[in-house]
Structure 1
Amino acid sequence: MSSIHLCLISVSDEGLSNITLSDEETMDPELSPGLFQGDMALTNDFYNFWRVGLKFDIFPDKLWKNGVVPYTISPLYEPSELVTILKAIKLINFMSCVRLVPWDGNAKDYLLIWPIKYPKGCWSFVGRYGGAQILSLQPPDNKGPNCLGTEGRAIHELMHALGVFHEQSRWDRDKFVKIHMDNIIPQFKANFDKQSLDNTTYSFEYDYDSIMHYGRFFFSKKKGKPTITPKQPNVKGIGQRKAMSKGDCMKLNDLYGCYKTPAKRRKYYNICNFMGL
């Protein structure tokens, strides 16, 4: 898939094959592509702005127009895998005013959900890229469930496609987590960069439970060595790939203007509080 301009691959396939990740028997499919922060493909211009932090009012074209996201799903998926993907889509549609809708064959911009082989894994472009936009979800194999054990990883990548970055990249993250740089695989240290306060704002508190947060051992160079740990007391775990947290849900609704009327604000706040982890 080199023709779709995966311009930020920083580690060769050969280099990746020699890496063993912490608690995992095999490489996590969200990390394996070697893209920006493991699972994001960005254009050069987008990446340059990201390096100093990014506001979507700088790139308004990266948000999907009117919150409508056409999609089509590869026929290569097994029925059970298709059900998992559709469940992720239905949950996002229910918990936000974003509307992921089947592609009608005419819309210029749409998500192409496909089990990409090169680079394989779970990955997405960030926001609306334009045209047929790949979102890769690797199906289960004899080594494990990969991206489709549950709907959680599909939701994570769909959130990227909607324009949401990783939670631990926030400018204020150092108040909430400690990054153990000595434990990180050297090639991936840049994946723990954070955004600039000058160009980013947040309406919600730091979210340890976010589906967009790294886990404790992501990119660890040795089993049992954490790369990221919480600073706040009574935080048992960080990151998960089960479902949107309350914060994820509220952030997505805020990003797409779902709170424009008091009635909609009440509706989506209640949904986020009731259904979010």
Structure 2
Amino acid sequence: MRSFSIIFFILEIVNTFLVNNTAFFHNHDSIRQKRGILKNMRYIWSEKEIPYYVDSLLDPTLVKTALNRISKETCLIFRHKLEKNKALFIYLHNDHYETNLGRRREIPHKIYISLYLRDIGKIIRETMRALGVEYEHNRFDRIRHIIVKKKNIQPFFLKYFSQENAFFSTYYDTKYDHRSIMHFSQYEYTRTLQKVIISKDHLMQPFMGKSKYLTFNDAKILNEKYCSFPFINHLPCFYKGYQDPRIPNICKCLPYLTGNQCEIIRPNDPQCTQRMIFAEVERQKYIILRVGGKCTFYFRTKVGSRIMMNLKFLSIGNIDRGPCNEENSIEFKYKNDYSVSGFLFCPYKNEFNFTSLFHSITIVSNFPPTNAQLQVTFKKVKKPR
């Protein structure tokens, strides 16, 4: 009885500040399924263990690292082979990163990698495309999120920017993600040195095509097609969780949730401020958070109001000062679907000012243990009419 009360209390908290409507659950609409992986099973591989070959001019360690990042999030296994005729995928050198979408008649399947630009994210991207996952910027609903400047694209590569019909593929109840590993960068295949993709959310413009790891929804799309076990019973998954690809009787959860059904908030690491939930305030409030570990902080106000916030690092410990990426930043989640990747705020930036679109904001850090401090100033503001 006591455990049930604890779970119920946690669910009430999570429901208050993480969820504004039932869209955060499994609102799967069979009429408006979202495109992402090919529906036609002819183009999906039956194998879950994929032998691969790497051209002698390429770095096999880089390819192996990329494939390990896919394996870590899925049930798929990749085996390196020294002979082409024993492989299903072969990685060949080229000027660009490209491959055909899904399984085709020609076996082994050719995946081309640039000799001049080492990019582990693009190796993951093209491998997932070979597995049948479409580029994110080609989603049927992209018009709401990006503008594609076709006149700035090299003509031969226009085929990689084709928006397809929603009924050709399915996205398994995931929403558009600018930081998807499957998203092109703003200058990809440009012929004029001008942007080929412009985000309608200006905060996400610099992060398109920069990911080095699968996002939560990237892995979900791949797992739903290749790693689902419909004959193994498991309890319903909450908050965008889904059947775990390796332990199928439990759910795979967002990184800051846990429990067999994703029903429990994961505690912060010892290096983090232990308080996780900050409620609405009429007057401006100032706090200092320790963020030198795996930390999550939830800020919420009344439905219909917004949160005005300022972020500033006070100390960064031993955090890398290189280009902003998943490993040296905090993630600022401000959309009503928390499975969608957020804005990255890095320690070398002076400060960040933002007014939320909805009534909640979540800040997530994923640093190794270090002494990092973040100053947060926030208050409730009225939503414009």
Q: Report TM bin, short chain.
A: 0.5 to 0.7
Q: Deviations over 1:153-174 (max 9, x none)?
A: 2111211111112111111110
1:198 to 163, 167, 173: 167
1:126 aligned partner, one-letter code: L
Aligned-partner Cα distance in 2 for 1:115–1:55: 26
Change (3 A) 1:243 1:174: same
Asked if residue 134 in structure 1 is aligned to residue 110 in structure 2, the reply is yes
Partner of 2:350: none
2:141 to 172, 178, 197: 172
Partner of 2:71: 93
Q: Structure 1 stretch 100-109 or stretch 207-216: which is displaced more?
A: 100-109
Greater helix share, structure number: 1
Partner of 2:289: none
Aligned-partner Cα distance in 1 for 2:217–2:53: 28
Does the 8 Å CA contact 2:181/2:212 hold for their aligned counterparts? yes
Q: Per-residue deviation at 1:194? A: 0.3
Change (3 A) 1:182 1:232: same
Does the 8 Å CA contact 1:95/1:268 hold for their aligned counterparts? no
Q: Deviations over 1:55-100 (max 9, x none)?
A: 7342x132121422121223444xxx22111111111111111122
Change (3 A) 1:220 1:133: closer
Greater strand share, structure number: 2
Does the 8 Å CA contact 1:135/1:161 hold for their aligned counterparts? yes
| Alignment TM-score, normalising by the size of structure 1 | 0.63
Does the 8 Å CA contact 1:115/1:137 hold for their aligned counterparts? yes
Asked if residue 68 in structure 1 is aligned to residue 68 in structure 2, the reply is no
Partner of 1:124: 99
Gaps of 5+ in 2: 1-34, 235-242, 258-293, 295-325, 327-338, 342-385
| Secondary structure of residue in 2 paired with 1:112 | strand
Gaps of 5+ in 1: 1-52, 140-144
Change (3 A) 1:184 1:111: closer
Q: Per-residue deviation at 1:189? A: 4.4
Does the 8 Å CA contact 1:124/1:134 hold for their aligned counterparts? yes
1:102-113 correspondence to structure 2 within 5 Å: 102-103=80-81, 110-113=88-91
Q: Per-residue deviation at 1:222? A: 2.4
1:142-157 correspondence to structure 2 within 5 Å: 145-146=116-117, 149-157=118-126
Aligned-partner Cα distance in 1 for 2:217–2:120: 18
Aligned-partner Cα distance in 2 for 1:199–1:61: 13
| Secondary structure of residue in 2 paired with 1:92 | helix
Percent identity between the aligned chains?
Answer: 20
Does the 8 Å CA contact 2:36/2:221 hold for their aligned counterparts? no
Partner of 1:207: 177
Aligned-partner Cα distance in 1 for 2:156–2:99: 20
Does the 8 Å CA contact 1:70/1:102 hold for their aligned counterparts? yes
Change (3 A) 1:184 1:86: closer
Q: Deviations over 1:212-254 (max 9, x none)?
A: 111112233323x322111236434322252222221221112
Aligned-partner Cα distance in 1 for 2:225–2:253: 14
Q: Per-residue deviation at 1:267? A: 5.4
- Root-mean-square deviation over aligned CA pairs: 3.4
| Secondary structure of residue in 1 paired with 2:170 | coil
| Secondary structure of residue in 2 paired with 1:248 | helix
Does the 8 Å CA contact 1:96/1:249 hold for their aligned counterparts? yes
Does the 8 Å CA contact 2:186/2:205 hold for their aligned counterparts? no
Change (3 A) 1:244 1:190: same
Partner of 2:228: 258
| Greater RCO (CA < 8 Å, at least 6 residues apart) | 1
Partner of 2:38: 56
Does the 8 Å CA contact 1:103/1:110 hold for their aligned counterparts? no
1:242 aligned partner, one-letter code: K
Partner of 2:12: none
Aligned-partner Cα distance in 2 for 1:168–1:100: 27
| Secondary structure of residue in 1 paired with 2:110 | strand
Partner of 2:22: none
1:205 aligned partner, one-letter code: K
Structure possessing the higher radius of gyration over alpha carbons: 2
